[in-house]
Chain A
Amino acid sequence: MSPLDGFRAPGEAAAQERGRHVVAAAYARRQPVQRRRAPIRLLLALGTVAALAAVAFTPPGHAVLTSVRKAIGIEHAQDALSALPAPGRILAGGWIVNADGSARRLGAYADSSWSPFGRFVVTAAGDRIVALTDAGAVRWQLGRPVTSLPRWGGTRTDTRIAYFSGQQLRIVAGDGTGDRPVSMHLVPRIAPAWRPGSSFTLAYAETHGRVRVLDVERRRLVFAAGGLAAPRKLEWSSDGRRLLVVTRSGLVVFDERGRRVARRTGRFVDAAFLPASDRVVTLTRHVLSLDGRTLFRTSGELGQVVPSPNGRRLLVTWPEADQWLFVPTQGGRVRAVGNIAAQLDGSGFPVDGWTS
């Protein structure tokens, strides 16, 4: 018997389970060295190359290959995340991807968000709201039916979490206390958005194209806006002075008093403020743009855009290609990383946030 058979380190079973997924995913994307290449395989490989060459030199085949290359200005996607092209950490599907490319699995959490300064993660796990450290340890959990879309806001010393329980929008303090409802009879389809800062001002979508902005501590309505065509996303600028509403037919930017200061029509699948600015990056199914300038175009179907914390890169998800694309905002080469689902155990779409 070894002495280690008697010693158990703290958290061993949970750590082993988390590690098992990481190791299995890493092993799954490994490409073993071919020790003996059978002649038949060589012939098949040569046949495949010949077939591809034939396709490439026929007009339709050539067009397909060319469009793929032109699609994003890159020819090959990396098959593994080696390092992020900008500082920070990405949260996606219960995984944290660090700047050096290493990934930690927090658990089977598909609906999560960072705390304001990236120290913690909150996730909706069926009938619970769970707050975790960035190492995956549970700090507290709160039983509520059918939870979804948790969002964490506040300052370094005082935070709140907004989330849905069924059709109720509720808030709870960052330490898990003071859970209470804010609004009833909502459709839990659009995540609420905390205004950055210490005021605990929350934007959320009601039915019939209305958006309300509420000071939840003083229980005071800051402003309400109607006539919005099916809001899809709410996001504050990092200085808290602008609120972006992405709708089915375009986007609208409000100032802090509820005045519409910008409007664009278009079929946007996503949009976001660049950090430390009021510039808006927009994403349609095939085109990523900033200030009216196309940064990236593809015939494939794109899903989401998430700016890096320093605003120099945009993470664009391309689910059907199983890729994350990192697009520079100031020109330069697009970096694509493939096999995201395999690396993140089937997760990776959508991305839940990129924090510093």
Chain B
Amino acid sequence: MDLTARLGRISPIEAGTPDERALVRAAQDGSAEAMEGLYRAHWPRAYRAAYLVVHDAAGAEDIAQEAFLAAIRALDRFDRRRPFGPWLHRIVVNRAIDWSRARSLRREVEEDASAAAEPDPPAELPELVRSLAALQPEQRAVIVLRHLLGYTPGEIADLLDLPRGTVNSRLRRGLDALSKDVE
């Protein structure tokens, strides 16, 4: 299955462009407008990435918000020569994995399993997105990073602190499962 063909042409993650570096510098110096600019530029991807891992809109919203709040707390320590997106995506995807694991744990201990069951994704979502929900959160995360955010396996390994081989195997198994489900 060619995910790229299904989802459109993948563009590489933009490295820290001069505009983005200027926004980060201004935000570090106290410009609310610059922070707003960073938010508008990066929030949609953060929210979508979180959603595709957790498949829960309220959870994704909390994760995206928390990621930005964490970014604000760490803003002064941020190396402005580096791109902002990967820094944010690392926070988002790791929190989304944690969130999914926590939900699984809750489901095991709650008496009323139906109350905690993962909701079905809305019917209007693309079939591929719905199929992602059946994968393990760790597999969803690497597929989102690779095929929706456009990171290389090496970059994903750095973002998630994983061996590159683990990233490749999760990608391969996830894609195999998606192939069976979608095709």
Q: Does A135 contact B (CB under 8 A)?
A: yes
Inter-subunit contact A10/B122 (CB<8 Å): yes
Within the assembled complex, what's the spacing in Å between the Cα atoms of A24 and B68? 10
The binding surface of chain B is classed by DSSP as helix
Give A72-105 interface residues, CB cut-off 8 Å to B. 102, 104
What residue in chain B is nearest A2 (Cβ atoms)? Answer: B11
Contact stretch, chosen from A11-19, A41-49, A229-237: A11-19
Q: Does B149 contact A (CB under 8 A)?
A: yes
Fill in one digit per residue for A1-33: 1 if any B CB lies within 8 Å of its CB, else 0. 111111111111001101110111011101011
Task: Identify the interface centre among B36, B60, B61, B66: most chain A CB within 10 Å of its CB.
Answer: B61
Known A26-B69, A32-B76: A9·B8 in contact at CB below 8 Å? no
Identify which of B9, B11, B72 contacts A27 (C-beta below 8 A): B72
Inter-subunit contact A23/B35 (CB<8 Å): yes
Inter-subunit contact A32/B29 (CB<8 Å): yes
Give B38-72 interface residues, CB cut-off 8 Å to A. 39, 43-45, 47-49, 51-52, 57-58, 60-62, 64-66, 68-69, 72
Identify which of B4, B47, B73, B147 contacts A9 (C-beta below 8 A): B47
What residue in chain A is nearest B65 (Cβ atoms)? Answer: A19
Inter-subunit contact B35/A9 (CB<8 Å): no
Give B73-90 interface residues, CB cut-off 8 Å to A. 73, 75-76
Within the assembled complex, what's the spacing in Å between the Cα atoms of A298 and B27? 39
Within the assembled complex, what's the spacing in Å between the Cα atoms of A10 and B62? 14
Task: Identify the interface centre among B27, B58, B66: most chain A CB within 10 Å of its CB.
Answer: B58
Task: Identify the interface centre among A6, A11, A18, A102: most chain B CB within 10 Å of its CB.
Answer: A11
B145 to chain A, nearest CB (A): 12
What is the interface size of chain B, counting residues whose CB is below 8 A from a CB of the partner?
44
Inter-subunit contact A10/B72 (CB<8 Å): no
Inter-subunit contact B10/A3 (CB<8 Å): yes
Q: Does B154 contact A (CB under 8 A)?
A: no
Within the assembled complex, what's the spacing in Å between the Cα atoms of A5 and B10? 10
Residues of A within 8 A of B68 (CB): 19, 22-23, 26
Q: Does B148 contact A (CB under 8 A)?
A: yes
Identify which of A7, A24, A26, A135 contacts B58 (C-beta below 8 A): A135
Within the assembled complex, what's the spacing in Å between the Cα atoms of A41 and B76? 20
Identify which of B8, B28, B60 contacts A15 (C-beta below 8 A): B60
Residues of B within 8 A of A102 (CB): 62, 65-66, 69
What residue in chain B is nearest A32 (Cβ atoms)? Answer: B30
Inter-subunit contact A24/B36 (CB<8 Å): yes
Known A3-B10, A4-B44, A4-B45: A9·B39 in contact at CB below 8 Å? no
Inter-subunit contact A8/B75 (CB<8 Å): no
Identify which of B11, B52, B60, B75 contacts A30 (C-beta below 8 A): B75
Residues of B within 8 A of A133 (CB): 58
Inter-subunit contact B32/A28 (CB<8 Å): yes
Inter-subunit contact B48/A23 (CB<8 Å): no
Known A6-B8, A11-B61, A135-B61: A24·B35 in contact at CB below 8 Å? yes
A120 to chain B, nearest CB (A): 14
Inter-subunit contact B28/A32 (CB<8 Å): yes
Within the assembled complex, what's the spacing in Å between the Cα atoms of A246 and B91? 49
Inter-subunit contact B43/A19 (CB<8 Å): yes
Inter-subunit contact B64/A15 (CB<8 Å): yes
Inter-subunit contact A4/B48 (CB<8 Å): yes
What residue in chain A is nearest B49 (Cβ atoms)? Answer: A4
Fill in one digit per residue for B2-38: 1 if any A CB lies within 8 Å of its CB, else 0. 0010011111000000000000000111101001100
Known A6-B8, A16-B47, A30-B72: A23·B39 in contact at CB below 8 Å? yes
Inter-subunit contact B8/A16 (CB<8 Å): no
Inter-subunit contact B148/A4 (CB<8 Å): yes
Q: Which A-B residue pairs are the 8 nearest by beta carbons?
A: A3-B7, A9-B51, A135-B58, A15-B61, A33-B76, A11-B57, A3-B8, A27-B35
Interchain Cβ contacts under 8 Å between A and B, 21 examples: A2-B150, A3-B9, A4-B45, A4-B148, A4-B149, A7-B7, A7-B52, A7-B148, A9-B48, A10-B57, A16-B44, A19-B61, A19-B64, A20-B36, A20-B43, A23-B35, A23-B68, A24-B32, A30-B75, A32-B30, A102-B69
